[in-house]
Every structure is written in C-alpha cells, then in structure tokens.
Amino acid sequence: MGLKTADINEHTPWQDLTTGLQIFEPATSKMFHTGEWRTNTPVVDWSKCRQCLLCVPYCPDSCIAVKDGKREDFDLDHCKGCGICVKACPFNAISMKEGK
C-alpha cells in the first residue's frame, strides 16, 4: 500500500485502505469525522462545571478543548459518545443525551 495514516482521509479510494481498516499509528482520530458514529451526546451543565479539567485527560479522542485554562464545549465532529467524561466529572456537570 505505501500510505501512512496521515495520507488517508474521508476521500481516500477504498482500494488504498488497509485490510479491515486497521490503523497502525496512534492518535489519528482528528483526521476523521468520527462523531458520525455517536449514538449518545455529552452535554455540559455549565452551572455545575467548576473548571477542574479532570474530564480533559480522560477523553480518549481529545474532544474537550481547553483555552486560557478553561474547558470549552465538546468537539462533536470527533466525539464518539463513549461517556467516559461523565464518569470522570466529580461535580456531575456532564450528562449524556440520546442521539446526536
């Protein structure tokens, strides 16, 4: 094949994809809009959020942006809706809603 994961995008011909769509390099989720897979969506209750940022390192897809020391809303283009952030939040500021 000869293609690196960095060379593959949503418009790559199927003939150039790896067998079973296996990815052999880490941290490639930002290259694809994987949020389309989501069946549940995380929602922040900003009145409960204390900006502790504990949810940020737990997100396996780096979908919680931080700017000027404060978390921003979710990057829903890449969030798969796993709910790990809900478990990580000690203030119950994150919940999951059904659907996109």
**If you write DSSP's letter for every residue of 17-28 in order, what string do you get?**
SPGGG---SSS-
pLDDT for 1: 44
Contact yes or no for 78/33 (Cβ under 8 A): yes
Contact yes or no for 58/88 (Cβ under 8 A): yes
Express each pLDDT in 74-95 by its tens digit: 999 889 899 999 999 999 999 9
Q: What pTM was estimated for this model as a whole?
A: 0.68
Residue 21 confidence (pLDDT) above 70: no
pLDDT for 23: 64
Residue 7 confidence (pLDDT) above 80: no
The two structure tokens encoding residue 66: 């931080």
> Residue 56 belongs to what H/E stretch?
helix 55-58
The two structure tokens encoding residue 15: 């003939």
93/23: higher pLDDT: 93
Residue 22 confidence (pLDDT) above 70: no
Express each pLDDT in 56-76 by its tens digit: 999 988 899 999 999 999 999
Domains annotated on the chain, with CATH: 1-27 (no CATH), 33-98 (3.30.70.20)
